[in-house]
Amino acid sequence: MSEVHSEKDVLILAIESSCDETAAAVVKNGRDMLSNVISSQIKLHTLYGGVVPEIASRKHIEKINQVIEEALYEAGVTLDDIDAIGVTYGPGLVGALLVGVSAAKAIAFAKNKPLVGVHHIEGHVSANFIEHKDLKPPFLCLIVSGGHTHLVMMKDYGEFEIIGRTRDDAAGEAFDKVARAIGLGYPGGPKIDKAAREGNPHAMEFPRAHVADSPYDFSFSGLKSAVLNYINHANMLGEEISVPDIAASFQNAVVDVLVEHSMLAAKEYGVDKIVMAGGVASNSALRAGMQKACEENNLEFYFPSPILCTDNAAMIGAAAYFEYIKGTRHGFDLNAVPNLKLGER
């Protein structure tokens, strides 16, 4: 399918509440972000060392209307101008997803607008359509976040094939766990990124895990255990650990595997573009490593700015647009699907 340019602009109001950000946005034609409002709960969850689902759900209910109203106001539109409502319906925390899904359905019903359910990961990928106006499929996409590590072949708008995934921890999850172990706290990604700048990435050689017979799959639990063992061992011997060196060496091991698998897949699938998405796509070492590898392999490299890497609704609006154009519609019985698979309806 080629990109459809209809005569009239298509405005999507998008809602995202799959984890700990309550977000709403208005997106025009899948490419222009008219507003992108995010209410983050991160400070609240920091107290607990990670996202507490019940607390997240309670906060979503408190914030959802305000965030939607702000998104409409900032975009300078009213619900009457909106062509369709897009909403994340999975994967994510079920109680959190339900807030966005229920509100989106009610608004679609009350204003008689089409409802388009969006896969959260399709949203992350689609953040790149906003950032890079001329980016078109096909391309290979590496999605790395606190909940996901996927290598996806995007053949066309809304058409995905997952070619690699993590077998255990998501990359971002490994960052969080290691950050906790070395006393950096939550959220681990940005904190490790910062600490690693002062460290030596080759101070320790942590393992680069490969999954037998699945060259594109990932495994980070072994790496995480290796780091934890290293720390325990040093503690037992009474040796002081270097937080920057551990951060840099751990991060280097993660980046190596992510870049290596992406290059392998790009070659095998014959693509000339690599796209990154998800919260960990903001990691400076990953960006630098992927950039270098892409240059060496003559690949174009795309990634979104940090605000579009984190969970946001603009990316859901972009994905909803391409689904809307394809004819995807959901009924008022749309449910939240916490373990929704990519490409599943």
Partner 1 sequence: MKILAIESASLVASVAIAQDDKLIAEYSVNHKKTHSQTLLPMIDEIVRMTDTDLNTLDAIAISGGPGSFTGLRIGSATAKGLALALKIPVVHVPTIDAMAYVMYGFDGLICPMLDAKRAQVYSGLYHFKDEFEIVKPQCAIDLKEFIDEINEIGEPVVFLGDGVDAGYHIIEENIKVPYKLAPAHVNRQRAAAVAVLGQKYFAEGKIVSAENEAPEYLRVSQAEREMAEKRRSMDL
* Residues in contact with partner 1 by the rule CB under 8 A: 47-48, 52, 54-55, 57-58, 60-62, 64-66, 68-69, 79, 94-95, 98-107, 109-111, 331-336
Q: Which is nearer to partner 1, 68 or 226 (CB)?
A: 68
Q: How far is the CB of 83 from partner 1 (least distance, A)?
A: 15
CA–CA separation, 78 and 85 (whole Å): 13
CA–CA separation, 341 and 339 (whole Å): 6
For residue 126, what are its two tokens? 């689609």
Q: How far is the CB of 331 from partner 1 (least distance, A)?
A: 8
Q: Which is nearer to partner 1, 42 or 47 (CB)?
A: 47
Asked whether 281 and 303 are in contact (CB, 8 A), the reply is yes
Q: Which is nearer to partner 1, 277 or 336 (CB)?
A: 336
CA separation, residue 317 to residues 88, 188, 228 (Å): 9, 28, 40
Q: How far is the CB of 95 from partner 1 (least distance, A)?
A: 5
Cross-strand partners of 161: 153
Q: How far is the CB of 275 from partner 1 (least distance, A)?
A: 33
Q: How far is the CB of 81 from partner 1 (least distance, A)?
A: 13
Q: Which is nearer to partner 1, 111 or 202 (CB)?
A: 111
Q: Where are the beta strands (DSSP E) in 268-324?
A: 273-277, 300-302
CA–CA separation, 30 and 28 (whole Å): 5
Query: ∠ at Cα 43 (122, 336), nearest 5°?
Result: 35
Q: Which is nearer to partner 1, 1 or 106 (CB)?
A: 106
Q: How far is the CB of 301 from partner 1 (least distance, A)?
A: 39
Ramachandran class of 236: left when φ > 0, alpha when ψ lies in -120 to 50, beta otherwise: alpha
Instruction: Name, in order, each residue with C-beta under 8 angstroms of 214's C-beta and a sequence gap of 6 or more.
Output: 164
Q: Which is nearer to partner 1, 72 or 293 (CB)?
A: 72
Q: Nearest CA to 266 among 274, 275, 258? A: 274
Q: Which is nearer to partner 1, 99 or 258 (CB)?
A: 99
Q: How far is the CB of 209 from partner 1 (least distance, A)?
A: 32
3 state DSSP class of 306: helix
Q: How far is the CB of 79 from partner 1 (least distance, A)?
A: 6
Q: How far is the CB of 49 from partner 1 (least distance, A)?
A: 10
Q: Which is nearer to partner 1, 52 or 264 (CB)?
A: 52
Asked whether 189 and 248 are in contact (CB, 8 A), the reply is no
Instruction: Name, in order, each residue with C-beta under 8 angstroms of 302's C-beta and a sequence gap of 6 or more.
Output: 128, 131, 132, 135, 139, 273, 274, 275, 276
Q: How many CB atoms lie within 10 A of CB 79?
A: 14
The strand pair at 273-277 and 139-144 is best described as parallel
Q: Which is nearer to partner 1, 100 or 278 (CB)?
A: 100
